[in-house]
Amino acid sequence: MTPVIGDLIQGGVNAALDVVKSYFPPDMPPEEKARLERDLTQALAAHQLTQERERTQRHGADMASDSWLSKNIRPLVLVYLMIAWTVFSVLSISGGMVDAVYVGMLKEMLMAAFGFYFAGRSVEKITAILKERKVRS
């Protein structure tokens, strides 16, 4: 069965690794498979770390800006998605005025936005704490 993009996103690194491993030749020696799996795992971990750093830099750049909108766009998107999801959920239950597909789509967007905003903010705060400890040492 071919994985769908949503499956890869939800499964994270392990799902991506499983997809790549499914393309290994069946006659590949076990030592070579183990080495490739280790290299892929390290590459994926490095990629995730890079993504977190870039996300933290974007948050920092937004907060350093003089624009009200750039400082508040993420919270505004969260509020908008939460309201839209709530309204669409109620409308889909109370009479089927909205198809459940749209509720699911908004739910996925809301989960991604919450994950991005709160995980990104947490990483940003942890990075600041670690930098402060480094300066003290």
User: 56 and 85 share a domain?
Assistant: no
Share of the chain above pLDDT 70, in %: 82
- pLDDT tens-digit series, residues 95-117: 778 788 888 888 888 888 888 77
User: 85 and 56 share a domain?
Assistant: no
Count other C-beta atoms under 10 Å from residue 88's C-beta: 20
* Tokens matching residue 119: 């995980």
Alpha-carbon distances, residue 136 vs 84, 91, 114, 125 (angstroms): 46, 55, 33, 17
Is the pTM of the predicted complex or chain greater than 0.85?
Answer: no
User: 80 and 125 share a domain?
Assistant: yes
Q: Name the domain boundary from 64, 96, 116.
A: 64
Q: Is the pLDDT of residue 27 over 50?
A: yes
Q: Name the domain boundary from 64, 83, 102.
A: 64
Query: 131 lies in which domain range?
Result: 67-137
* Strand, helix or coil for residue 94: coil
